[in-house]
Amino acid sequence: MSTGRLCALVDGVFAIAVTLLVLDLPRPPASAALASTLRHAWPSYAAYLVSFATIGVIWLEHHGMMSAVKVANRRFMERTLVFLLTVSVIPWPTALAAEFGRQGGANARTAAVVYSAILFAMGLAFVASWRYLRRRPELVYEPARGGLQAAERRALAGSAAYLLAILLAFVVPVAAFAIDGALAVYFALSRSGVPALMVRASAGRD
Amino acid sequence: MSTGRLCALVDGVFAIAVTLLVLDLPRPPASAALASTLRHAWPSYAAYLVSFATIGVIWLEHHGMMSAVKVANRRFMERTLVFLLTVSVIPWPTALAAEFGRQGGANARTAAVVYSAILFAMGLAFVASWRYLRRRPELVYEPARGGLQAAERRALAGSAAYLLAILLAFVVPVAAFAIDGALAVYFALSRSGVPALMVRASAGRD
Amino acid sequence: MSTGRLCALVDGVFAIAVTLLVLDLPRPPASAALASTLRHAWPSYAAYLVSFATIGVIWLEHHGMMSAVKVANRRFMERTLVFLLTVSVIPWPTALAAEFGRQGGANARTAAVVYSAILFAMGLAFVASWRYLRRRPELVYEPARGGLQAAERRALAGSAAYLLAILLAFVVPVAAFAIDGALAVYFALSRSGVPALMVRASAGRD
Amino acid sequence: MSTGRLCALVDGVFAIAVTLLVLDLPRPPASAALASTLRHAWPSYAAYLVSFATIGVIWLEHHGMMSAVKVANRRFMERTLVFLLTVSVIPWPTALAAEFGRQGGANARTAAVVYSAILFAMGLAFVASWRYLRRRPELVYEPARGGLQAAERRALAGSAAYLLAILLAFVVPVAAFAIDGALAVYFALSRSGVPALMVRASAGRD
């Protein structure tokens, strides 16, 4: 089966996940002093930006993966659905991070652990998709097959960093959010890696 | 008419239904003890996971159906819209299940009945689509026509299981939810059936 | 310009509008008696079903229109955006109808007027799209041009019926909702009209 | 890489942003006097219409841009994601404008500044996309390259007008909203500009 409808579902979920984030930006009641309320809501903006950047970068990475996939069988689609589960849920820990991230103590810790844990799960699901493709190279365009291992390693490195963020969240919650944000920036900028080469090779244009 | 736009609408509705589920995950107020609140919210996660898995599996099944459909006439599109009605409404019984599923007595019963009844309606709508295709084989790719009856029977068996879940919901609500969840897992794993063969035949690749 | 991206935007808006309707189904608090609360919420279900059916039927009609359009210029896209405005807003009067539709007196009247007025605006926007195509037949596939006038008249008849519903809403609100629902059913069933012929001719398949 | 999936993501975000606006239209409680409540909610309708028109017009402009783009590299996709960030967030300042826009004094000022600032950011992100294309003309269809500078200037002029709206918002908030709305109308009507020519040239049809 071709990948058209799978991509349509993926793009739909990403588009909605990214747009639902906006529902948790501060909406003070009519009686509030708007300017000062908005000024104190910086954790909401920070959480919004980190989540938007993360979802955006995951989309870019997934776009790279799909441009290497020739056919999608049912098992691959199931792995993609598990991956979508971890992406579509991101607005939820984002809302928790915005509400509890700046409280001291246990609540900030819980929010940071949950937030990083969901990004970790997302990373693992992405690794699992790459690993499946590596074991089934017949699903992948010929010239892209050489890059599968490096792509899996790249996703694995990201997952490891999210695992580090979980551990750090127990000690310094705000540092965990900082790592999560830095990872989005790092993956956005580091495109000289193998996946990009792979995609270019497979697509035969650019 | 080709099936492109119908698939686009279907994929959109599935993507949104699956992502709207996240709005009903617990969002405790800032004054809550976050960790213990989240720990007690397991019915929300269970409902979320069962509904996500169900919608995901329905999407896979519907994807299989559409890859066998050559042209979609207006009557078939109308049946698909009724099917979409039953899919798009799933976030609603999910929210009821999350809120009332663990209460004892009448409320849990009501939630389990409503939840299973909507999945039952979804199953029936899916049966109706297959049945229509069986009566109009000219809408279906030649090699796939032989598999239509088995596909309808598979959908019918799923519907029967959901009917069983409704009946069970009156006695042991939590068992009804368990059946609903088990059905998603079963349909995800059982792909050696006729529809898969049919799709492979019709698409001529895999 | 081809019509691909315009259709993608349209399908997205329809899919979201239809799925957002679910947010206004009753979500009683944990302390409620669920069964009796749900039983009394029938205006919500009625409003949900009428709006879902209406949006579904509009999608079918718009799908018919777009399968006759060869190229979409900027002016046609602007008219389509105005049409989308009237479609995407439908969840709002639906929520009003669910909340106020069964109250006696002025509130039910207001809800019925607003609901029917927005469907009337949608009808007029659809008429405007057909009219523009009739004045610019070069945008339309050759064999479909003969059906443009009948298609416009069909849309105009629907708009007139919605206007009647507005007037009736001032006297018997519930009758206005009944007309709105009956129109969805009527347009779903009446496909022997010219547009269907037109589409079949233009697409050259079925 | 081709532009198909990027357009799918963009269309999804626009469709959702435009449809989420409806969640902030007035939903009075069952005890309200509906007619008078709705009558006093005109700032909600005004904010809704201005935001819908703005998002619609941005979509038209972006549609024009993408029809000139031959291939999208990773850097261009990243710029598009930043642009999508500014579009997807629009429902938030719209909700603020609806709630605070008609209050006198500081709150209206804050709402108008935030609203105009986000449209300004959107304009700048659009300028950045055009500028990138101008520096990488190999991404653009041959006949469209001559129009890149004019297109960038058009986007720059829009951004300058939004900057003016920000400044005005500090003095006469309502005038800022008026400029924001007028800009949507202006960009909708002014299609005789270079971008349109460019698109027509590049697409070779109309």
Distance CA C80, CA D199 (A): 19
Q: State pLDDT tens for residues D76-98.
A: 999 999 999 999 999 999 999 99
Residue C149: its pLDDT value, please?
Answer: 93
SS in 3 state form for chain B? CCCHHHHHHHHHHHHHHHHHHHHHCCCCCCCCCHHHHHHCCHHHHHHHHHHHHHHHHHHHHHHHHHCCECCCCHHHHHHHHHHHHHHHCCHHHHHHHHHHCCCCHHHHHHHHHHHHHHHHHHHHHHHHHHHHHHHCHHHECHHHHHHHHHHHHHHHHHHHHHHHHHHHHCCCHHHHHHHHHHHHHHHHHCCCCHHHHHHHHHHCCC
Q: Which residues pair with A140 in a beta bridge?
A: A69
Residue D206: its pLDDT value, please?
Answer: 35
Chain C interface, best mutation among D19, D48, D69, by max C CB count within 10 A: D19
CA distance C178 to chain A (A): 34
DSSP-derived 3-state class of residue D140: strand
Length of chain A as a residue count = 206
| Amino acid sitting at position D23 | L
Residues 6 or more apart in contact with residue B157 via CB below 8 angstroms: none
Burial (CB count within 10 angstroms: exposed 0-12, middle 13-18, buried 19+), residue C128: middle
Mean per-residue pLDDT for A146-160? 94
Nearest CA in chain A to C8: A8
DSSP-derived 3-state class of residue B77: helix
Q: State pLDDT tens for residues D15-55.
A: 999 999 999 999 999 899 999 999 999 999 999 999 999 99
Tell me how far CA of residue A163 lies from CA of A121, A167, A189, in angstroms: 9, 7, 21
Residue D204: its pLDDT value, please?
Answer: 41
Cβ atoms within 10 A of the Cβ of A137, count?
14
pTM of the model: 0.92
CA distance C200 to chain D (A): 24
| Residue matched to tokens 């693992």 | A124
Nearest-5° angle of CA D130, CA D182, CA C121? 105
Residue A198: its pLDDT value, please?
Answer: 53
CA distance C75 to chain B (A): 22
CA distance C10 to chain B (A): 9
Identify the chains in contact with C, defined as 3+ C-beta pairs within 8 A. A, B, D
Residue D188: its pLDDT value, please?
Answer: 86
CA-wise closest residue to C158 among C195, C124, C114: C124
Is the pLDDT confidence value at D185 over 60? yes
D190 band by pLDDT with thresholds 50, 70 and 90: confident
Distance CA C14, CA D53 (A): 18
Integer distance in angstroms from the first to the last C-alpha of chain D? 25
What percent of chain A stands above pLDDT 70? Answer: 92
Q: Domain boundaries in chain A?
A: 4-24+43-203
D1 band by pLDDT with thresholds 50, 70 and 90: low
B206 band by pLDDT with thresholds 50, 70 and 90: very low
For residues C13 and C88, is the Cβ–Cβ distance under 8 A?
Answer: yes
Chain D interface, best mutation among C2, C3, C6, C9, by max D CB count within 10 A: C9
Q: Which two tokens stand for residue C35?
A: 């069964």
Residue D103: its pLDDT value, please?
Answer: 83
User: Residue A196 is inside which H or E element, if any?
Assistant: helix A194-203
What pLDDT tens digit does each residue of chain C (206 aa) get? Answer: 678 889 999 999 999 999 999 999 999 998 999 999 999 999 999 999 999 999 999 999 999 999 999 999 999 999 999 999 999 999 999 999 999 987 878 999 999 999 999 999 999 999 999 999 999 999 999 999 999 999 999 999 999 999 999 999 999 999 999 999 999 999 888 864 445 545 554 444 33
Residues 6 or more apart in contact with residue A67 via CB below 8 angstroms: A199, A202, A203, D1
Is the pLDDT confidence value at A31 over 50? yes
Mean per-residue pLDDT for D179-188? 92
Is the pLDDT confidence value at A191 over 80? no
Residues 6 or more apart in contact with residue B71 via CB below 8 angstroms: B1, B2, B3, B139, C205, C206
Residue D170: its pLDDT value, please?
Answer: 95
Mean per-residue pLDDT for B97-119? 92
D102 band by pLDDT with thresholds 50, 70 and 90: confident
> Following DSSP, what letter does each residue of D47-92 receive, concatenated?
HHHHHHHHHHHHHHHHHHHHTTBS---HHHHHHHHHHHHHHHTTHH
Which residue among C16, C23, C109 sits closest to D15, beta carbon to beta carbon?
A: C16
Q: State pLDDT tens for residues C10-37.
A: 999 999 999 999 999 999 998 999 999 9
Interface of D with C (CB under 8 A): 7-8, 11-12, 14-16, 18-23, 25, 27-30, 32-35, 38, 48, 52, 56, 59-60, 63, 66-67, 188, 191, 196, 199, 203, 205-206
Q: Kindly list the residues from chain C whose CB atom is less than 8 angstroms away from the CB atom of residue B16.
A: 15-16, 19-20
Residue D198: its pLDDT value, please?
Answer: 52
Mean per-residue pLDDT for B76-83? 95
Interface of C with B (CB under 8 A): 7-8, 11-12, 14-16, 18-23, 25, 27-30, 32-35, 38, 48, 52, 56, 59-60, 63, 66-67, 188, 191, 196, 199, 203, 205-206
Q: Do D63 and C77 touch (CB under 8 A)?
A: yes
Return the higher-pLDDT residue of B56 and C193: B56
For residues A79 and A128, is the Cβ–Cβ distance under 8 A?
Answer: yes
Q: Kindly list the residues from chain C whose CB atom is less than 8 angstroms away from the CB atom of residue D201.
A: none
Which residue among D5, D71, D78 sits closest to A205, beta carbon to beta carbon?
A: D71
